[in-house]
Amino acid sequence: MKVLLLVNPFSSSVTARTRVIIRKALASDHEVELVETARRNHATRLAQGAAADGVDVVVVLGGDGTVNEAANGLAGTATALGVLPGGSTNVFARSIGLPNDPIEATADLLEALESGSIRRVGLGSANGRYFCFHVGMGYDAALVEQVERRSGLKRWAGHPLFIYAGLTTFFRHFDRRHPHFAVAYPDGDRVAEGYFAVCCNTNPYTYVGNRPFDIAPDASLDRGLAMVTVRSMRATRFLRIMADALAGQGRLQRNRWAHYRHDVDELVVEGIDGRPFPYQIDGDFLGEIDRIDLRHVPDIIDLVLPVGFHDAPVE
């Protein structure tokens, strides 16, 4: 196969040694070209060029943001997307059953390529931009913004940085007294007061170490979107919601302060009284917006999946 190895050299887990080992492993059976990203959205253009040149597979070694950019360049083409974990959390790579070590994941990727384990899957769309695993709105996006303000620490601090950012965002950087947005579904169902929402194309939402945040058990690559909307940020209620999410087993869906819908084809999130709210896509903070149109786009991208994968998240 003709393979483009697309590397984000700034990702947390990417080193010169890792790049060399992975390129050699891929080149043992495939024709491989390595390119590095240099700026935001560069991966999208590189992936688009690879598809136009007839490359069979674009393999991304980077974090979730780089994977998202490449997916946006490949959606609707015949070029497949392969993923290797190179970031601090690697939600999408882990959600499709890959180990969190990039060299170990390369062995799984090579086995998948040899077996032809490539499947046409669906993506989510937020105002026309595709997402692989989720869009976060409100508190979730404000937390990501605080992490990105300390991006230089991500390589060294990892998950403790996310926990610290979560606490400082909760107590200092987010308005917990007033709702930020409303959520509307085509069937008339509506959540009038939203503080924190996640629209999922896969599950889990994220990981704390090796522990998944299991908030949308019905989300998978072959089904519609799942939407979780938190209707209160009072401390006791919010702590219970987080505990239920970590516990899994459907507990979050039974929490009265969390509204849950699954197998959704489309929905709209609008700021209260037209006010903008923060949002992020696949872990990248994108600023504030007053409306997001979310929809599920089936069968839009070819994805290399580990042999035997059945949409079952691994730890």
Calpha distance 145→242 (Å, rounded): 20
Ramachandran angles phi, psi of 152, nearest 5°: -65, -20
Residue 129 near residue 169, CB atoms below 8 Å = no
Q: What own/partner pairs with CB < 8 Å and gap ≥ 24 does 35-41 have?
A: 35/4, 35/5, 35/6, 35/7, 36/6, 36/7, 36/8, 36/9, 37/6, 37/7, 37/8, 37/9, 37/10, 37/62, 37/66, 37/69, 40/69, 41/69
pLDDT in tens, the chain (315 residues): 999 999 999 888 889 999 999 999 999 999 999 999 999 899 999 999 999 999 999 999 999 999 999 999 999 999 999 999 998 889 999 999 999 999 999 999 999 999 999 999 999 999 999 999 999 999 999 998 888 776 655 554 455 666 766 778 877 888 989 999 999 999 999 999 999 999 999 998 888 777 888 889 999 999 999 999 999 988 888 888 888 887 777 788 888 899 999 999 999 999 999 999 999 999 999 999 999 999 999 999 999 999 988 774 433
Q: What is the per-residue pLDDT for 58?
A: 98
Q: What is the per-residue pLDDT for 158?
A: 55
Range list of H helices, 121-259 = 139-149, 154-157, 159-172, 235-247
Q: What is the per-residue pLDDT for 164?
A: 67
Q: What is the per-residue pLDDT for 152?
A: 55
Calpha distance 58→245 (Å, rounded): 34
Q: What is the per-residue pLDDT for 72?
A: 98
Q: What is the per-residue pLDDT for 88?
A: 82
The model's pTM is: 0.91
Map tokens 């169902």 to a residue: 189
Q: Helix, strand, or coil here: 200?
A: strand
Domain 130-297 belongs in CATH node 2.60.200.40: yes
Calpha distance 141→138 (Å, rounded): 6
Map tokens 């939600």 to a residue: 91
Q: What is the per-residue pLDDT for 154?
A: 53
Ramachandran angles phi, psi of 289, nearest 5°: -150, 155
Q: If you write DSSP's letter for every residue of 202-229 in order, what string do you get? A: SS-SEEETTEEE---TT--TTS-EEEEE
Ramachandran angles phi, psi of 4, nearest 5°: -105, 120
> Residue 116 has which token pair?
């032809």
Domain 2-116 belongs in CATH node 3.40.50.720: no
Report which DSSP code applies to 89: S
Ordered by start, the domain boundaries in the chain are 2-116, 130-297
